[in-house]
Chains A and B, each alone.
Chain A
């Protein structure tokens, strides 16, 4: 927070650069104090946010004995990638990653296929029940997962989809689809209607107009919706816990829990698995951060 300096004559340049005090020792001192306050605040916040993550990283390179050694050290002499090697050479833990990639990948592709078409209808067509459907799609996001879990369990067992990829993929669609439709509709609304209208005037069908003309232009929007969808599916825990049973069908979040239950707490391996399990989301987020945040706030804060 900046401290006001009550100077009344300010140039435009000063406006952009923020408050600049009148030459005078008191005002200078106040600004310096204010800047020091902001920097101290930022550093305290950074410790709060990043120290636990740093400790997770550091622990994944230690031997298990050193993790609870006193006094704690960030880097120890036995620094090694052994914990990572143990995770990546164990067929059981590798399988968790394969399962997560299969499920999250399939959910992403299917969600995009369905959401792009629905968003096209919302963006370009008038139809009966449009408002109602819009309210339904927004409300669906507020339905508690625990409420759906019990009937889903009954349905999956009844239809033979319990403990299968298909069961999980279908389940995750209900969480990814509403948001994907809202985000995608918002994105299509930013593209000029003339684009697809022109193609339709030439006698092409709406389907062609969408997939041949609109979709190639909408790639940035599609990518950000895809990332969001992938993250939701990659991180989901409750349904993965309940709708799969055998170890070879478990996803990464459940795998982390199973790792905790096994052995006598191999903390370095648990942390290594946590880091490995977070890398896809970290990369996706960092690469497309700016894009993702604007899409996210547009979708969640203004539907």
Chain B
């Protein structure tokens, strides 16, 4: 990460005794660095540490935020949430929505990246197609939601093209698949852009050597391209799992978790507990459980990044 600066002695010399002037300079350097970090540390404390402590404490209270007197109730809220079928339904939906989206993001992103990286097309069409493929990424979830609500309306263009009259977002059988599809459309460019950068970083001679050895293009894909992209792919998968499992806006603005609870995910389930039922204690409990799940993924991500550095 960083080189030791010329002026700062390492800790060993500190322990073994150093001239006072040098020691003073070292202390000043340390003080300075904390000065530069102070705004960040204060913000992280106020915006991250305090809220996490708060949400955990809410989850052990009886009437968080709303009540004038709050009693500690131990793990009652956790028992209530973990025995609520709605919570498990939302967990299952989150899992289906996330795993399907992430897998499709990878397949589509890699396919488009390979097409754009093909030596058979020249630079100008490549630039044009890349700009077109990035488009869905540049719209915010609210815009994507209203756009697809229009496209998927019973009398909308998609039903016209299919010569059908399907209520895509209101059908109990199709709603979850439909919001997942919309999320796939919205999310693949992040993979595509990152994988394209990765593909362009693969040394040409690796492919060439494989070709000379008589490997077919399929063999080269599995034995050269994929192993070379592996670290990037793992990073992207972990990041996307974290983000997609936390998706709220897209689902909230297309189905609101409905019909009934068909597209309810953990974020919409938690939101409704707080801002529809005003049961902040139970909402906080659900939020803590969601935090724990995310932290598991975060640990894998941090460890993977460390291994790559």
Contacts and interface: CB of A to CB of B under 8 A. Distances in A.
B142 A253 contact: yes
A4 B221 CA distance: 12
Contacts of B6: 197
Contacts of B301: 138, 142
A128 B119 CA distance: 50
Contacts of B298: 138-139, 142
B220 A17 contact: no
A163 B61 CA distance: 26
Given A125-B5, A301-B235, A177 B215 contact: no
A133 B239 CA distance: 20
Interface string A270-283: 11001001100110
B283 to A, nearest CB: 6
The SS class assigned to the B binding surface is helix
Contacts of A128: 30
A150 B8 CA distance: 44
Nearest to B10: A126
Q: How many A residues touch the partner, as a band? A: 35 or more
Interface residues of B, number: 111
A107 interface: no
Nearest to B218: A1
Interface stretch (B15-23, B72-80, B167-175, B242-250): B242-250
B193 A296 contact: yes
A117 B142 contact: no
Contact of A151 (B58, B136, B151): B58
Contacts of B39: 113-114, 117-118
B239 A300 contact: yes
A267 B41 CA distance: 46
Contacts of A204: none
Given A150-B58, A285-B138, A114 B40 contact: yes
B36 A145 contact: no
B121 A146 contact: no
Contact of A15 (B193, B208, B309): B208
